[in-house]
Amino acid sequence: MKKVFSTICIGIAMLSSNDICAKVIEKQISFNKGSTGSQLNDKLTGYDSIQYTLYAKADQLLSFNITSTNNLAKINIYSPGDRPGSAEALYRDSTSGDIILPKTGAYTIQIYQMRNSARRGGTVKYNLNLSVVDYD
């Protein structure tokens, strides 16, 4: 019985090893002086994700649009104090949108690729356009 249990545990560990080995790359976003937006180009492989931090104020409008290889890159946006894996996203599984931000602080913008491509270890190049403006 111990041998069967050990074999099952090893099999589960092997199946989920991609998740365990995934890298989380953290980057800061800041706009050039006088600018309200930025264009970011990058790539990610497998289950890796890139988490951008963007400081914004309550009631500002965050607009985003992501284009990628075969439209496989997606975006989740987390409120200040919330993190992927420990909180629900304010905005999730999307490629474009506009959000009136609920509070002042550092927002986390997570970029990841669709599971079918991540599972195969695919690499996805993406182009992310962001802007933050006062909302009236």
Q: Domains of the chain (ranges plus CATH)?
A: 23-134 (2.60.120.380)
58 CB-near residues (< 8 Å, 6+ apart): 101, 102, 103, 104
Q: Pick the residue with more confidence: 130 or 7?
A: 130
What is the full DSSP assignment across 35-54? -SEEEEEEEEETT-EEEEEE
**Which pLDDT tens digit goes with each residue over 5-21?**
454 544 444 444 444 57
pLDDT value, residue 112: 95
**Cα separation, 28 vs 52, whole angstroms:** 5
Binning pLDDT at 50, 70 and 90, where does residue 49 land?
very high
pLDDT value, residue 93: 85
pLDDT value, residue 135: 84
Q: Quick one: average pLDDT of 45-53?
A: 95
**Which pLDDT tens digit goes with each residue over 62-97?**
999 999 988 899 999 999 999 998 999 999 988 999
Percent of the chain with pLDDT over 70: 85
